Structure 1
């Protein structure tokens, strides 16, 4: 996995083997070149919200990623993306009674793609250091905005 535009914060706590992670926190004006190179060598490239790309650069990177079987994950909307995940609600518990630590995170997520139209909604829950659990998807009742 390659992370571009943000540090590899709590990845080890999430169970990610850091021996297989490359972090490039700052790409200073050469983001498209860095992402293209990393996309050639990694199956997953995570792009941070501060990485600036033109619409043309995003289209070229998506086309290149499709050719190579690379997944590009970003919190920003990219036109032409295969799927979009929107976190609609979050709930955190534990800071007061958890000794200052977050003990549980619950997210309601909507997945949208060309294949499923309005999308499907599902809940993701993570308790402590255990792997997240996902409930069965439900048909979303939200409208696409673009």
Structure 2
């Protein structure tokens, strides 16, 4: 019986303590209105949309890995071109979004395997190029906000 009474007393103390000081004398802001707080995306600035163009030249067929904010992989007939709208939001404006196009080697006119040339453009401006197709790295660029 003592435990029940003691437990009830502690519950009452908790109710009284949390209930005190909850009133308003009219000088404070009301708790029922949400505070105007910036969302996490707002602190980076407004979203930005950019046109991204990925190109691979040459002839034949090549497997191409590419990213315009999300990664893709496909087998394509060359020449190949993709254009996409990429929207940067929130932290992407500062940290950036990875863009790339990586074609696999194709057989050249002399019978040797070569990497097809590639070009990566953002808003019509060339940002990377692998003109000779000498590198397996393809073309890559980190798109950030202005």
Give the TM bin, normalised by the shorter chain: under 0.3
- Which of the pair has the greater relative contact order for Cα pairs under 8 Å at 6+ separation? 2
Question: With structure 1 as the length reference, what TM-score do the two structures score?
Answer: 0.26
Q: Which has the larger radius of gyration?
A: 2
Q: Could you say which structure has the higher strand fraction? A: 2
Question: With structure 2 as the length reference, what TM-score do the two structures score?
Answer: 0.26
